[in-house]
Structure 1
Amino acid sequence: MTVVDLGFAPGSWSQVAIDLVRPGLGRVVGVDIIPVAPPKGVNALQGDFLSRDTQERVRELLKDENAGRVHRHELIKEENNTDPSYLDQDLSKLDLNMTGKAHRDKCIDVILSDMSAPWELASGYHHRSISNPYHRLMNTSGNKFKDHAGSMDLCRSALYFAFDTLRVGGNFVCKFYQGAEDKQFEKQLKSLFSKVHRDKPESSRSESKEAFFIGIQRLSSAEQDRVFDEGG
Structure 2
Amino acid sequence: MRKINDYYAKKAKKDKYPARSIYKLEEVQQKYKFLSRSDSVLDLGCYPGSWSLFASEVVGPKGIVVGVDLQQADQAPRPGGSPIHWLCQDIMAPEMVVEVRKFRPAFRVLISDLAPKTTGNRWSDSQQSLNLVRKTLALAEELLLDKGHYICKVFQGEDFPEFVNRMKELFGMVKVLKPKSSRTESREVFVLGMDYRKTGPERELQQE
Alpha-carbon distance, 1:151 to partner: 1.1
Number of the residue aligned with 2:40: 2
Number of the residue aligned with 1:142: 120
Number of the residue aligned with 1:55: 97
Describe the shift of the 1:179–1:225 C-alpha distance in structure 2 as closer, same or farther (beyond 3 A).
farther
Distance in 2 between residues matched to 1:204 and 1:148, nearest whole Å: 16
Distance in 1 between residues matched to 2:99 and 2:190, nearest whole Å: 26
Normalising by structure 2, report the TM-score.
0.72
Number of the residue aligned with 1:194: 172
Work out which of the residue numbers 146, 156, 163 in structure 2 matches 1:168: 146
CA contact (8 A) 1:14 1:39 kept: no
Distance in 2 between residues matched to 1:44 and 1:172, nearest whole Å: 19
Q: Deviations over 1:103-128 (max 9, x none)?
A: xxxx21100011122xxxxxxxxxxx
Describe the shift of the 1:115–1:18 C-alpha distance in structure 2 as closer, same or farther (beyond 3 A).
same
Structure 2 gap ranges (5+): 1-38, 78-82
Number of the residue aligned with 1:102: none
Normalising by structure 1, report the TM-score.
0.65
Number of the residue aligned with 1:42: 84
- What is the percentage of aligned positions where both structures have the same residue? 34
Describe the shift of the 1:114–1:223 C-alpha distance in structure 2 as closer, same or farther (beyond 3 A).
farther
Structure 1 gap ranges (5+): 64-106, 118-138, 227-232
Number of the residue aligned with 1:154: 132
Structure with the greater alpha carbon radius of gyration: 1
Distance in 1 between residues matched to 2:115 and 2:72, nearest whole Å: 15
Describe the shift of the 1:56–1:223 C-alpha distance in structure 2 as closer, same or farther (beyond 3 A).
farther
Q: Deviations over 1:9-35 (max 9, x none)?
A: 111111111111112x11000000112
Equivalenced residues, count: 161
Where in structure 2 are the equivalents of 1:83-232 lying within 5 Å?
Answer: 107-117=106-116, 139-222=117-200
CA contact (8 A) 2:46 2:73 kept: no
